[in-house]
Structure 1
Amino acid sequence: MNNSSTNQISKLYALLIGIDCYLPNQLPDGASYKNLSGCVRDIKHVENFLKIKLEMLPEHLFKLTASDIGKPQPAEPLEQWPTYENMVTMFDRVIEVAKPGDQVYIHYSGHGGRAKTTYPQLKGENGTDEVLVPLDIGNPTSRYLRDLELAALLQKMVNKGLVVTVVLDSCHSGGATRAGDSDIRGADTNTVDTTLRPTESLVASASELVKSWRDLTGGTRSAAVVGGMLPEVKDYVLLAACRPSEYAYEYAFNGKERNGALTYWLLDSLQNSSLNLTYKELYSRINAKIHSQFQQQTPMLLGEDNRLVLGSSYESQQYAVTVMQVNTAKNPVRLKLNAGVAQGVDSGSVFAIYPREIKDITQEDKHLAIAEITEIGVTDAWAEVIKTVRAGEIEQGASAVMLSAPVDLIRGIRLIECTPENTKLSDLPPKEINQQAALQAVAIAASGNGWVKLVADQEVADYQVSINKLSEYEICESTGKPFPNLRPPLKVGETDAPGKLVKRLVHLTKYKATEELDNFGTTLTKKLVVELVGKQANYRRTRQPSPQPFDDKSNPSVQAGETVFLRIRNEFSQVLNVVVLALSSDWSISQLNILGDNANFVPFDPGQEEYISLKMSLPEGYQEGTDIFKVFATVGQANFRWLELPSLDQPIPPNSTRGLKAPRNQLEELLAAVGADDQPSTSRKVQVVADPSRGWTTKQVTVKVIAT
């Protein structure tokens, strides 16, 4: 919505539900919904964003939370608990008070699950309902909020003329990770709850719910419905954390406090954006960020993806914070901003400061200075001016816009001994393997390396290293899941195996740093169009392509040998220099020769559009892999070949052999740091500090390739 007037802001309502405490949490079949630690924090951050950033009126916010304080009951009073009854009551209350045309934002962070259907006439005797899990579900007399009920509640909102956005940061399947640094928002086993529970719904009668569901789905449980908790939607937006067969993770992204991955990157994207984004544009960035850390979590976007985020029109939606104080007595000048941890700001975040009279903060050539956060509070922060861009006085009331997020270059490693307490007996390494000595050799090899460091027990690790049942070193994600396609295997006792392992970790770190490169908050973000438009088997460049749509456009997959078509369009008013990097399943990065001239970049004139055919393949012996195509666009010139990497089983060549010259501008300095051969930086984060010519952005698409 356009936030330019109090009248419009007052029309935003929110229903926020966060559940960390599940008591009792064990089901009759032995499965359990264990307590979580990031869901209530998710809700607090969303609440602060809505109140501070969008100035939502407090009386328009409805909230149910259950905090885990290590006691038999949550900290909140009973009427604020997210029970089934309270959730339905809150939905009804929002429907009652909101008026046609008002915005309604619904955010759920907690466990999702599956239960034996209470609607066999619709789904069959062995059918399942996808459900949101109340805090007291361990009690057999408690009820889930089921998919038919949620769909009916949302349809009531739509029928009243409300503009609805739904965010579900939960998963429908369950599972467990081995010694992971993240938690799953689902049952601890892949279970369907068969507990006999009350079947009466507080939403509507069973016949009304079934009729509503049939109206929405055309009478069948179609593929679109199986793809998420709700039917394919047209009248509202649904952003879900993952596909039904996947996990939704919560993780300590800042190394301290856990958040749901979807919620964290949703707020991060909105905080870093000064643009009127569509949900499709927002989703693209969230999907890329989540995939860079959790390959087995694919967010889903259904509904009005071309609608503006929290909007019903195409008027400008700008996000900025305000300069509250200016201390010119200090050198450098210090500024107090009205945003802090609650708004996604972190120490080291960089802001562009605008003159107070400038209201259009998309004008990147108008800002006065660059400031970096040095002291951080909950809802405010102090920043130091690190660069003066143009003459002018910084005044109270001036706008400050967060620039591109920093890139983490140094990754933390945890060395884990596999024991019967954290590993299945069938997966333990042979008894003759001295795990402690083998892991200590890795610690020695990693000592002094500029790309990776060992972390203490209380710190969050990016990578985990252990020894598997085949006596091989194994590198896992933070979830405890082994990285795929790490070849060749490294056996304990093999010559220089610890040194080779550290080189492998450095390779993965460089790959991940490139994958996470992002400059989301620029004018160019909307002006660069990047999408996969379809696939075709047996395509030859000599004939006109006739691409077929993907079976699942949100998670495209092809067979090896098929061709996909990448559409790139420049909708900017100036020429853009375009580069496409292929991040392949063998952990290589290469720059594609997209138009046949092998240049460092390809100029795209305003309005120019190209369809690039890409024949997909897999390295020998791979059964499947994931390829990422990352498209960069710059106003000026920049060389991205710093970022190229060979496949993991080949040594990384020194930069001197790549024919690269010294960096010419700040963007190339960043790229050179990411592609450095020795040490990227003495600090944990490398910042992109913008100047008036700050003109670059990047977007990426992902394709799963399956062996024929």
Structure 2
Amino acid sequence: MSATVYALLVGIDAYQGPRVRPLHGCKNDIASAQEFLARSTSSLRVETLRDGEATRDAVVDGIRTHLGAAGAGDTAVFWFSGHGSLAPVPAALRHLEPSGTSQTLVCADSRLPGVPDLQDYELATLLDRIAGNGVHVVVILDSCHSGGATRGEAVSERFAPPATEPPAPETLLDEVLAGTSRDGSAEVAERRRGNHVALTACQIHQTAAEYRRDGEFRGAFTTALLNAANAQGADATYRELMVAARCAIEDLVPNQHPLLYPHEHPIADRMFLGGAGRSPRSAIVMRYLRGRWEIDAGSCHGLTPPEADDPLLVGVVGVPAHEARVTRVGVVSSDVEPVGWQPDRGRQYPMALTRMPTPPAEVTVDGAREFTDRLAAAIRTGGPGGGASPYVRIAPGGTLHVRDDPPRILGQDGELLAPPVVTGDPVPTVLRELEHIARWRQIKKLVNVGSPLAGTVDVELIAAAPGVATAPLEGPALRPDADGVIRLRYAPDPPVVFIRLRNRSDRRLYCALLDLTDRYQIHPDLFPGDYLGPGQVGTAVDGRRVQFSLPPGRAATRTAQGRDWLLLLVSDQEFSSAAFRLGRLGEPAPDRSRGLPGLSGVLERLALTALHRDARRESPVAHDWTTSIVEVVTQA
């Protein structure tokens, strides 16, 4: 008998309590989560609580009765999208929270008289009892626990003001009050470690955001997590999904870093849903249904609606000149039109992405009128043939922010992304650097939905022991922290590691490893490209040691750090990683007018479209490909 997934999905946009402002994307979150679970599991029992249904009593009862019905070997999923907050801890429970403050989930009726938030120690107690029956318990929280961030116009926070008083003891769960013995607290805390795995939207000092896309609000974390799960397949581990989700979310929302708990426990390396998910299909499938052609991939898989001059294309795997243009992106499926060929309506076709839309990055400009007008005009006329820039456009609440006096480029969180322009006419320089950053970001978020190659090859970093000159093919690798980042530290010299690529599949796969630096450079020099056989291990720079250090000119102060994103490209066909090369910010772009030597396949076209707007009119042969990314932070 196969394992069953029991899911309790809670989404609250409308709140009853005073001073708890409404949200907009939480019900959309749980609708997407329910659709994902229905597709990804063979046996699912789901209960949803929306808005006024999600009272404190109803949420607690849903955990006790619905999730509590799971048996040994089953999986229980508690998914909450709504406001999070903080509350003082009652004196009798202070031993559970040494800080004196607990994180809370704000239920629909929380903050009404006599109705507290659901406290974190209450939630842990309920879920640990379920886990004690041999159930694999997963907690996904798209809410936040503190304030203090600035957002753009299209982004809002999921945070309610902290409670000023601790909850009255009589309002708390009996299970919690029954376990207040100080003598047993250490044993209880130790028993909880590893009982369930939690994937949360942000760290305790951060806020979780929801954002508007295509007219609908959604949680940034839910969107990133589901996109990662759809892209990486059922074999992805919690740690792998959180690494991918963090990388996907950080360009969209500043200062929100998803957190995995307990990240140091083996449960973090279990497969998502405890292995209850189905194996991925061979490819996206195109079929004729209800009078039109469609593919079984949509916005919940990460597809974005295309523009007329920026198409989204899929191609029949292994067949040249057989592409289809996506005309409408739905939630779970999308309409397509075959381009230049007539498919057989009685057949189903395995498809792969061959071209993805590369919408311009949105830029907000503040400053003197003369400067802002000139920069806006340059963006409108700085593209090919005097048209608009294909990389950036002016918009309120943009992910890039330009300020005058002196002209400089900032991220959403105010981080300086490029040095201020202090000499000459700043407008051409600012535009060139805006376009450079936008091109770099397009490559960083490159992902293929529904690829059967997802999760087949791992990137492993191994600390280089003194005197060891060649990468060992076996041995433990460094693991990401709870927020999905591998951290290296000077001691006092720059850290040195080996980098391995491990093919865990039974297929011969072509791999390349790109280094995306925080100076907005992209290079494939670590592992330009080669085939890895089934079970084979490859090494970067021919097995030599790799030093990570602060960029030149960045002082090695106590808070200084450098960031690299190692982007792995995997394909069942050979490709040229040279297409992905991008110089440092401020360096002139390479001339691509003569194209690239060698191959001209799907990945080359994706790279040339993103970096150089070279659409490559010829239709490449579609083949399977996938990406994964590892963030490395080097600290002084």
Taking structure 2 as the reference length, what is the TM-score of the superposition? 0.82
| One of 218, 224, 227 as aligned partner of 2:190 | 218
Equivalent position of 1:411 in the other structure? 361
Worse-superposed segment, 16-25 or 344-353: 344-353
Equivalent position of 1:385 in the other structure? 338
- Partners of 2:617 and 2:66 in 1: how far apart? 42
* Preserved CA contact (<8 Å) 2:315 2:324: yes
* Preserved CA contact (<8 Å) 1:404 1:521: no
| One of 36, 44, 52 as aligned partner of 1:49 | 36
Equivalent position of 1:443 in the other structure? 376
Q: Taking structure 1 as reference, are residues 379 and 567 closer, same or farther at Cα in structure 2, changes over 3 Å only?
A: closer
Q: Taking structure 1 as reference, are residues 438 and 179 closer, same or farther at Cα in structure 2, changes over 3 Å only?
A: farther
* Preserved CA contact (<8 Å) 2:149 2:207: no
* Preserved CA contact (<8 Å) 2:12 2:81: yes
* Preserved CA contact (<8 Å) 1:643 1:674: no
1:540-568 CA distance string (max 9 Å, x none): 66488898956836322222411233221
- Partners of 1:689 and 1:283 in 2: how far apart? 35
- Partners of 2:393 and 2:343 in 1: how far apart? 46
Equivalent position of 2:47 in the other structure? 62
| One of 154, 164, 178 as aligned partner of 2:127 | 154
1:275-313 CA distance string (max 9 Å, x none): 544434433432332234345333233463443333546
| One of 571, 579, 588 as aligned partner of 1:642 | 579
- Partners of 1:496 and 1:382 in 2: how far apart? 47
TM-superposed deviation, 1:23: 4.6
Aligned to 1:699, the other structure's residue is in SS state: strand
- Partners of 2:113 and 2:619 in 1: how far apart? 56
Equivalent position of 1:673 in the other structure? 609
Please show how residues 454-603 of structure 1 align to structure 2 within 5 Å. 454-455=393-394, 461-467=398-404, 471-477=405-411, 480-487=412-419, 489-490=420-421, 495-519=424-448, 521-534=450-463, 539=466, 542=469, 552=481, 554-560=484-490, 561-594=494-527, 600-603=528-531
Q: Taking structure 1 as reference, are residues 148 and 135 closer, same or farther at Cα in structure 2, changes over 3 Å only?
A: same
Worse-superposed segment, 314-323 or 514-523: 314-323
- Partners of 1:18 and 1:405 in 2: how far apart? 34
What is the identity, as a one-letter code, of the residue corresponding to 1:582? Answer: D
* Preserved CA contact (<8 Å) 2:463 2:497: yes
Q: Taking structure 1 as reference, are residues 616 and 338 closer, same or farther at Cα in structure 2, changes over 3 Å only?
A: closer
- Partners of 2:617 and 2:273 in 1: how far apart? 30
Give yes or no for the alignment of 1:131 onto 2:104: yes
TM-superposed deviation, 1:43: 1.4
1:653-699 CA distance string (max 9 Å, x none): 43469x943762232222222231xx456xxxx9998746x143322
- Partners of 2:198 and 2:620 in 1: how far apart? 34
Q: Taking structure 1 as reference, are residues 521 and 96 closer, same or farther at Cα in structure 2, changes over 3 Å only?
A: closer
- Partners of 1:336 and 1:371 in 2: how far apart? 10
Q: Taking structure 1 as reference, are residues 53 and 158 closer, same or farther at Cα in structure 2, changes over 3 Å only?
A: closer
Q: Taking structure 1 as reference, are residues 386 and 166 closer, same or farther at Cα in structure 2, changes over 3 Å only?
A: farther
Q: Taking structure 1 as reference, are residues 409 and 376 closer, same or farther at Cα in structure 2, changes over 3 Å only?
A: closer
Aligned to 1:173, the other structure's residue is in SS state: coil
What CA RMSD, in Å, does the superposition of the two structures yield over aligned residues? 3.9
Worse-superposed segment, 110-119 or 377-386: 377-386
* Preserved CA contact (<8 Å) 1:406 1:688: no
- Partners of 2:471 and 2:226 in 1: how far apart? 42
What is the identity, as a one-letter code, of the residue corresponding to 1:497? Answer: P
Please show how residues 186-225 of structure 1 align to structure 2 within 5 Å. 186-187=159-160, 193-200=163-170, 201-208=172-179, 214-218=186-190
What is the identity, as a one-letter code, of the residue corresponding to 1:247? Answer: T
Equivalent position of 2:346 in the other structure? 395
Aligned to 1:204, the other structure's residue is in SS state: helix
Give yes or no for the alignment of 1:614 onto 2:546: yes
- Partners of 1:258 and 1:704 in 2: how far apart? 31
Equivalent position of 1:17 in the other structure? 10
* Preserved CA contact (<8 Å) 1:163 1:312: no
* Preserved CA contact (<8 Å) 2:314 2:355: no
Equivalent position of 2:217 in the other structure? 258
TM-superposed deviation, 1:376: 4.6
What is the identity, as a one-letter code, of the residue corresponding to 1:636? Answer: Q
Please show how residues 257-296 of structure 1 align to structure 2 within 5 Å. 257-272=216-231, 276-294=235-253, 296=255
- Partners of 2:299 and 2:451 in 1: how far apart? 22
* Preserved CA contact (<8 Å) 1:48 1:343: no
What is the identity, as a one-letter code, of the residue corresponding to 1:618? Answer: L
Give yes or no for the alignment of 1:185 onto 2:169: no
What is the identity, as a one-letter code, of the residue corresponding to 2:219? Answer: G
- Partners of 1:347 and 1:578 in 2: how far apart? 29
* Preserved CA contact (<8 Å) 1:88 1:203: no
* Preserved CA contact (<8 Å) 2:511 2:571: yes
- Partners of 2:260 and 2:320 in 1: how far apart? 35
Equivalent position of 1:228 in the other structure? none
| One of 198, 223, 246 as aligned partner of 1:238 | 198
Worse-superposed segment, 510-519 or 44-53: 44-53
What is the identity, as a one-letter code, of the residue corresponding to 1:509? Answer: A
Q: Taking structure 1 as reference, are residues 661 and 185 closer, same or farther at Cα in structure 2, changes over 3 Å only?
A: same
Structure 2 unaligned regions, length at least 5: 307-311, 384-388
- Partners of 1:503 and 1:562 in 2: how far apart? 33
* Preserved CA contact (<8 Å) 1:149 1:209: no
* Preserved CA contact (<8 Å) 2:225 2:245: yes
- Partners of 2:471 and 2:349 in 1: how far apart? 50
What is the identity, as a one-letter code, of the residue corresponding to 2:73? Answer: G
Aligned to 2:57, the other structure's residue is in SS state: helix
* Preserved CA contact (<8 Å) 1:346 1:373: no
Aligned to 2:216, the other structure's residue is in SS state: coil
TM-superposed deviation, 1:268: 2.5
Aligned to 1:513, the other structure's residue is in SS state: helix
TM-superposed deviation, 1:178: 5.2
Equivalent position of 2:272 in the other structure? 309
What is the identity, as a one-letter code, of the residue corresponding to 2:8? Answer: L
Q: Taking structure 1 as reference, are residues 443 and 696 closer, same or farther at Cα in structure 2, changes over 3 Å only?
A: same
- Partners of 2:299 and 2:47 in 1: how far apart? 22
- Partners of 2:453 and 2:222 in 1: how far apart? 24
1:382-438 CA distance string (max 9 Å, x none): 3223376xx984438x476674783535222233x4xxxxxxxxxxxxxxxx63332
- Partners of 1:466 and 1:152 in 2: how far apart? 50
- Partners of 1:609 and 1:148 in 2: how far apart? 44
* Preserved CA contact (<8 Å) 2:549 2:562: no
- Partners of 1:588 and 1:342 in 2: how far apart? 31
Q: Taking structure 1 as reference, are residues 89 and 326 closer, same or farther at Cα in structure 2, changes over 3 Å only?
A: closer
What is the identity, as a one-letter code, of the residue corresponding to 2:529? Answer: F
* Preserved CA contact (<8 Å) 2:321 2:619: no
TM-superposed deviation, 1:609: 1.6
TM-superposed deviation, 1:370: 5.0
- Partners of 2:332 and 2:526 in 1: how far apart? 47
What is the identity, as a one-letter code, of the residue corresponding to 1:61? Answer: V
Taking structure 1 as the reference length, what is the TM-score of the superposition? 0.74
Equivalent position of 1:171 in the other structure? 144
Q: Taking structure 1 as reference, are residues 501 and 346 closer, same or farther at Cα in structure 2, changes over 3 Å only?
A: closer
What is the identity, as a one-letter code, of the residue corresponding to 1:307? Answer: R
